[in-house]
Amino acid sequence: MSEHRVPRHRRFLVCEPAHFAVQYAINPWMHPDRPVDVDLARDQWQALIRTYRAHGHTVESVEPVAGLPDMVFAANAAFVVGGRVFGSLFHAPERRPESVHYDTWFKAAGYDVYRPESVSEGEGDLVWTGRYVLAGTGFRTTREAHREAQEFLGHPVIGLTLVDPYFYHLDTALFVLDDDNICYYPEAFSAGSREVLRRLYPDAVLATREDAMAFGLNSVSDGRNVFIAPHAEALAERLARHGYVPVPVDLSEFHKAGGGIKCCTQEIR
């Protein structure tokens, strides 16, 4: 079936992990007493960039800034649809300065940038499906930000409540496969949100907690190829049975900060 899946060219924005470290704890994955191998993190990140380019995707970079160890997680900095940039206002004070540098990049590139008044963490909690925005809340991005996003972007926003602190961002519990389907871990969501997802995506690929803990939901799909954590083997096999092509990329060093492939990848639409 994979021959019927058609990849689409993507344009990604990333930030080199020149200053990556775990210096504070703002999610259950982060333990400042666990050392980070900076060289390994850089090698893994570079492998991700090479893999994107080998599959025909465009990759651009924001300059990393000293003192901002989580700036590598570019997805959290903004949400872009139709050339409009809905910026970020981070929940954690430690990360708020990142927004300025990403906003500067987008403005220099000629984009209209909106800075939300309510806490919003970009593509961490805002996911474009091709028709509407799926929007996470419960730990970071607020429902007020969902309303701001709908007013600014002019697209319907569907709120989903996250309930497991290990999956504090929507992009740790769900990702879009193509214009018609998604993959997600049901137990990361409230009962009502699970029902919404069942109604919207009756044929979704469902993940287990084991898949999610292996960062299998923090994946990027181009409609055919799914760039996925290698330890999410069972999920990769499930995706392959649905006609997708798993492309394993190891970003395990970034798991120490609660991030993975998608966290490091901002998509510019």
* C-alpha dist (Å) from residue 243 to 3, 27, 28, 133, 179: 8, 34, 34, 25, 15
169 is catalytic: yes
Query: Which residue is catalytic, options 15, 183, 263, 264?
Result: 263
15 is catalytic: no
**Closest by Cα among 86, 88, 50 to 68:** 88
3-state secondary structure 46-78: HHHHHHHHHCCCEEEEECCCCCCCCCCCHHHHC
Query: Which residue is catalytic, options 169, 183, 231, 264?
Result: 169
From CA 57, how far away is CA 126, in angstroms rounded?
21
From CA 185, how far away is CA 258, in angstroms rounded?
17
Question: What is the chain's alpha carbon radius of gyration, rounded to the nearest angstrom?
Answer: 17
Q: What are phi and psi of 61, to 5 degrees?
A: -130, 145
Active site residues: 169, 263
